[in-house]
């Protein structure tokens, strides 16, 4: 049944909603069209000559802080003090850290958020190492803030591990990560998330072979150590106590264990690590694992001119970014993700030059993963395909990116149609093969939800597992639906059931990879609009009702990263990306919500800058909930394009979208 957005009948009680006047509808459509013309030009200007898009990824100060500590590892102090050959870069990192200090002296993990003890401890340590005077106002305020938050003892396990490598935190009270983890039977390593295994394997070598590295004479962190708190491993429940006992045994093994077995474990970990640096831009192609790889190779005695170490440092240093006066590290690069979304948004608009989309398609086609990665441990017979998030990371193709590339290929046509068709067939089959048993899809792996691992002592970074989530599942389902799959297909049936079962009581969905419930809701709703039956329609109705209830007074939508802490929606100032997400969800519902949609459109069209872009300074991307967040600098550009395109279609006299079956 087809029904215009501007003239609909509520199926709940038969109440006819107010039709949007023709003049108002026309004015809104004109506003959308004008905004889209500007944004198309702006988005095309950002396309690289090679055909891809890649916006900066912005994170918190922990990356710059870790960089300074890494320099201490690579370049130990001398009797004259500490002056590494990278001193100029260290000072740029110092300036970057100081520029983001909060009024209370601490450092947060997302813009607008409160001081975080782990980020603050890292920043204080790095600044002190770099020579910022302890009596300066910045350092005094940082110390006071850290002590208020519980001192160094309140930091997470990875901060404590890093500090223990330099004798700045008691090693007896940090978790042990043994290299023997690579030798454990049953594929235990592969029950961890892909990013965790890429971190813990090199870190296990660092802990075992790195020793305790020197610090400048007289350097310590006593002043940020809380006098009323003891040093101990995290103890959350009885199971954590069990793991604490195991940790004590691991420490005994490290000191007294069989040397032959320990050496075999080191060599196995070294081989795993080096094998996983092939066909990628650094181990895991993400900052933490790339940093630990450098440290591990150095701990193993690789000389400074060894090709593997030179390459590892080169990949790591490539994450440094200088934009005018601004200096920062990116946690990784996002070219596949940005290219797929930009191409999809421009393709949906329908007016982009075909040759620009062909350039994007050719670039994406050349980056299909054709080698088996870690995912094949659980899917050994599945033909390789998919796309990674970064330029090159063939061990870790990403389910989310793969679905997004398939959506982009709906519009972006490569120079070789036959090659594209074969590629798309492989990618669809790979997506279907990567569905987990609960019906959902995760980021990198299948059935990666062994909850026992969340109790190990170093699991407080909130990233041990890669469980299925509504946001990725919604995107995969949309990609499959738009390729002609229907609910008659068993995978689609199970995916739809998963989304219905994971809807929150208030009508929203949890968003794992975007902040947060708005992100989950729009992706789930866009998938369910293709599904048949009263249950999907009811779920969409509830989702739309929730979205209208959380709209800001200015007509936009905004959600804080604090939603992950509170486990419910926490409002924030409106952002372009989150407003676009909410509009996409409401437009997928298709039944009423006129005023909310009108106000959302007006927010985007009136806040667009003259150059066709939007301003956004809050984090709307999620790395690890409660630990690490991201600002995708292109989100503010291509998501509004997608939303305004859908709105323009809905405002057309003959709408091109089909309303989902009404709930009974």
Residues with catalytic function: 400
Q: CB neighbours (10 Å) of residue 229?
A: 12
Residue in the block written with tokens 């997928």: 588
- In three-state form (DSSP H/G/I as H, E/B as E, the rest C), the secondary structure along 479-527 is HHHCCCCCCCCHHHHHHHHHHHHHCCCCCCCCCCCECCHHHHHHHHHHH
DSSP string, 318-332: TTEEEETTEEEE-SS
418 CB burial (10 A radius; 0-12, 13-18, 19+): exposed
Q: What H or E segment, with its residue span, contains residue 291? A: helix 287-299
CA distance 147 to 229: 11
How far CA 304 is from CA of 201, 296, 378, 571, in Å, comes to 21, 13, 37, 50
The tokens for 82 are 């500490």
Residue 411 and residue 145: Cα distance in Å, rounded? 52
Name the residue with tokens 């009423």: 592
User: Which residues touch 192 (CB under 8 Å, ≥6 apart)?
Assistant: 200, 448, 453, 464, 465
Contact 453, 192 (CB under 8 A): yes
At 459, list the tokens: 């699991």
Pairwise CA distance, residues 432 & 492, whole Å = 9
How many whole angstroms separate alpha carbon 494 and alpha carbon 116? 40
- Angle, nearest 10°, between helix axes 470-481 and 490-502? 140
Instruction: Give the C-alpha distances (Å, rounded to integers) separating 522 from 52, 223, 340, 514, 579.
Output: 26, 47, 18, 11, 10
3-class SS of residue 432: helix
| Nearest C-alpha neighbor of 643 from the set 31, 23, 1 | 31
CA distance linking residue 661 with residue 528, whole number of Å: 11
Alpha carbon separation from 574 to 31, 544, 553, 564 (Å, rounded)? 19, 18, 9, 18
Count of H helices and E strands in the chain?
Answer: 23, 7
């Amino acid at each position: 049944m087809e029904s215009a957005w501007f003239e609909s009948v509520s199926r709940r009680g038969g109440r006819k909603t107010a039709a949007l006047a023709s003049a108002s509808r026309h004015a809104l459509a004109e506003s959308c069209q004008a905004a889209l013309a500007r944004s198309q030009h702006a988005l095309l200007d950002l396309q690289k000559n090679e055909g891809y898009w890649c916006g900066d990824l912005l994170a918190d100060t922990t990356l710059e802080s870790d960089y300074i500590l890494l320099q201490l590892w690579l370049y130990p102090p001398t009797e004259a003090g500490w002056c590494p050959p990278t001193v100029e870069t260290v000072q740029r990192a110092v300036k970057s850290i100081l520029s983001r200090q909060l009024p209370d002296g601490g450092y947060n993990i997302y813009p607008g958020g409160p001081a975080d003890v782990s980020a603050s401890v890292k920043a204080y340590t790095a600044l002190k190492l770099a020579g910022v005077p302890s009596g300066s106002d910045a350092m005094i305020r940082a110390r006071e803030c850290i002590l208020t938050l519980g001192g160094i003892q309140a930091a997470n396990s990875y901060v404590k591990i890093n500090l223990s490598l330099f004798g700045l935190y008691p090693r007896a009270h940090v978790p042990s990560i043994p290299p023997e983890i690579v030798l454990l039977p049953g594929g235990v390593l592969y029950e961890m998330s892909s990013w965790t295994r890429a971190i813990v394997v090199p870190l296990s070598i660092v802990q075992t072979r790195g020793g305790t590295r020197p610090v400048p004479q007289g350097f310590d962190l006593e002043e940020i150590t809380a006098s009323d708190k003891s040093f101990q491993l995290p103890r959350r429940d009885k199971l954590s106590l069990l793991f604490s006992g195991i940790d004590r045994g691991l420490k005994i093994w490290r000191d007294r264990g069989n040397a032959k077995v320990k050496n075999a474990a080191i060599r196995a970990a070294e081989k795993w690590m080096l094998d996983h640096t092939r066909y990628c831009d650094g181990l895991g192609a993400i900052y933490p694992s790339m940093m630990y790889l450098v440290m591990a190779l150095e701990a193993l005695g690789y000389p400074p001119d060894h090709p593997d170490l030179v390459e590892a440092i080169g990949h790591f240093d490539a994450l440094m970014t200088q934009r005018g006066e601004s200096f920062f590290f990116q946690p990784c690069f996002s070219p596949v993700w940005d290219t797929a979304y930009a191409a999809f948004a421009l393709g949906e608009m329908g007016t982009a030059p075909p040759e620009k989309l062909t350039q994007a398609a050719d670039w994406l086609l050349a980056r299909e993963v054709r080698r088996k990665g870690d995912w094949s441990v659980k899917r050994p017979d599945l033909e390789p395909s998919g796309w990674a998030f970064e330029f090159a990371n063939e061990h870790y193709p990403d389910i989310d990116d793969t679905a997004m590339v398939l959506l982009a290929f709906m519009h972006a046509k490569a120079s070789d149609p036959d090659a594209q068709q074969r590629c798309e067939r492989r990618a669809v089959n790979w997506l279907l093969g990567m569905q987990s048993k609960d019906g959902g899809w995760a980021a990198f792996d299948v059935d990666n939800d062994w909850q026992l691992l969340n109790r190990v002592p170093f699991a407080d970074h909130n990233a041990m597992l890669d469980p299925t989530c509504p946001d990725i599942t919604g995107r995969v389902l949309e990609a499959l639906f738009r390729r002609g799959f229907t609910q008659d297909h068993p995978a689609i049936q199970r995916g739809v059931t998963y989304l219905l079962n994971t809807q929150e009581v208030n009508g929203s969905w949890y968003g794992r990879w975007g902040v947060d419930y708005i992100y989950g809701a729009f992706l789930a709703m866009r998938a369910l609009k293709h599904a048949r039956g009263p249950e999907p329609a009811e779920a969409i109705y509830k989702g739309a009702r929730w979205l209208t209830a959380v709209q800001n007074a200015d007509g936009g939508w905004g959600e804080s990263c604090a939603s992950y802490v509170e486990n419910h929606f926490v409002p924030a100032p409106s952002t372009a990306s989150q407003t676009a997400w909410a509009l996409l969800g409401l437009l997928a519902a298709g039944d009423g919500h006129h005023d909310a949609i009108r106000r959302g459109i007006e927010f985007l069209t009136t806040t667009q800058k003259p150059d066709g872009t939007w301003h956004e300074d809050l984090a709307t991307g999620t790395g690890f909930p409660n630990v690490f967040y991201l600002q995708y600098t292109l989100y503010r550009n291509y998501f509004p394009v997608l939303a305004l395109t859908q709105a323009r279609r809905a405002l057309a006299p003959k709408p091109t979208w089909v309303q989902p079956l009404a709930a009974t």
